[in-house]
Amino acid sequence: MNTHIDPLRLPPELLGYIINELRHNQQALINTSLASRSFLPFCRPHLFRALKIPPARKPMEAFENTEAGNQNHDMRRLAESHIAFHVRDLHIEISRIRNTDLDPTDLTSFLQNMTQIQSLSISAARSS
């Protein structure tokens, strides 16, 4: 007798309940979301509930007008993705030494697209 249960045959309510039990274990959620495409819609709300957007990853990128590592670019990509719907808690970290990281116009546009935000915090990164 085959005891293997196909995850696609489980009722969605049961899949949701099982994955909800993993909500406090980030690595388990990541592994579960990668195990089957059918798990991903249940994992996304937990994986992307809280999000932190760091300042530009390389100090000079903010001045070089490059896309990669630019905070405005990162926020634009996030707001245009399916992830934006799942974000409830958002923390944006800006650099104290580079005021070109975050354009207020881009921030306003970004926040208008983040329709499910319940908590927003913005802080200045400590300079090294």
| DSSP-derived 3-state class of residue 99 | coil
pTM for this one?
0.71
pLDDT digits (tens, 9 = 90+) for 91-116: 988 876 555 556 677 788 888 889 99
What are the helix (H) ranges across 9-56? Answer: 12-20, 26-35, 40-47
* CA dist list (Å): 70 to 34, 94, 103: 28, 11, 11
pLDDT digits (tens, 9 = 90+) for 23-59: 999 999 999 999 988 899 999 999 999 999 887 665 5
Q: Report the pLDDT value the prediction gives residue 91, as an integer from 0 to 100.
A: 93
| Domain extents in the chain | 7-47, 50-125
Q: Report the pLDDT value the prediction gives residue 88, as an integer from 0 to 100.
A: 96
Pick from 50, 48, 92: nearest CA to 74:
92
Sheet of 89-95: strand order equals: 50-53, 89-95, 119-125
105 CB-contact burial (10 Å; exposed 0-12 / middle 13-18 / buried 19+)? exposed
Q: Report the pLDDT value the prediction gives residue 62, as an integer from 0 to 100.
A: 45
